[in-house]
Amino acid sequence: MSSVFPTHHLSIGDLILSTHPSMISTVLGSCVSVCLYSRKHKVGGMIHFAMPNAPENVPSSQAFRYGNLAIAALIEELRTLTGEASRTFEAKVTGGAAEIGGQPSSLQAGPGNVQIAREILSRFEIPITGEDVGGSLGRKVRFYTETGRLQVAEMKRTETQSQIRKVLIVDDSRTIRELLKRILEEDPELRVIGLAKDTVEAEKFIAKDKPDVITLDIHMPGLTGVDWLEKIMPVSTLPVVMISSLQMQDGNEVFRSLELGAIDYIQKPTLSEIGLVGPLIREKVKAASFAKVIRYKANAQKAMGHRFHSSQGLSREIDLRTVLAIGASTGGTEALKSVMAALPPQIPPTVIVQHIPPVFSKAFADRLNDICPFEVKEAVDGDELKISRVLIAPGGRQMKLQRNAHGFCVRITDDAPVNRHKPSVDYLFHSVASLVGPKAVGVILTGMGADGAKGLLDMRSRGARTLGQDEESSVVYGMPRVAFESGAVEIIASLLDIPKNILQVLERKKVG
Active site residues: 329, 355, 451
Cα–Cα distance measured from residue 325 to residue 352, given in angstroms and rounded to the nearest whole number:
6
Q: For the chain, give me the number of helices (H) and strands (E)?
A: 15, 25
Cα–Cα distance measured from residue 391 to residue 371, given in angstroms and rounded to the nearest whole number:
15
The sign one gets for the Cα dihedral 73, 425, 477, 246 is negative
Nearest CA to 306 out of 351, 340, 336, 261 is that of 340
Residue 50 has φ and ψ, to the nearest 5°, of -105, -30
Cα–Cα distance measured from residue 98 to residue 88, given in angstroms and rounded to the nearest whole number:
31
* Structural Rg of the chain based on CA atoms: 23
C-beta of residue 297 within 8 angstroms of C-beta of residue 259 = yes
Nearest CA to 61 out of 279, 271, 274, 244 is that of 279
C-beta of residue 409 within 8 angstroms of C-beta of residue 385 = yes
Q: How far does CA 260 lie from the centroid of its chain?
A: 21
Termini Cα distance of the chain: 44
Cα–Cα distance measured from residue 389 to residue 373, given in angstroms and rounded to the nearest whole number:
10
Nearest CA to 441 out of 376, 369, 504, 385 is that of 504
Q: Compute the half-sphere exposure of residue 114: CA atoms within 13 Å on the CB side of its CA.
A: 17
C-beta of residue 398 within 8 angstroms of C-beta of residue 424 = yes
Give the DSSP letter of residue 419: T
Residue partners of 330: CB distance under 8 A and separation at least 6: 263, 264, 284, 287, 288, 291, 355, 446, 447, 448, 475, 476, 478
Strand 165-170 with 213-217, pairing: parallel
**Number of residues in the chain:** 512
Written as one letter, the residue type at 132 is: D
Nearest CA to 283 out of 478, 489, 483, 502 is that of 478
Using H for helix, E for strand and C for coil, what is the string for 426-453? Answer: HHHHHHHHHHHHHHEEEEECCECCCCCH
Cα–Cα distance measured from residue 487 to residue 5, given in angstroms and rounded to the nearest whole number:
11
Cα–Cα distance measured from residue 123 to residue 87, given in angstroms and rounded to the nearest whole number:
10
**Cβ of 445: how many Cβ atoms within 10 Å?**
29
At 26, is the secondary structure helix, strand, or coil?
strand
Nearest CA to 137 out of 119, 156, 123 is that of 156
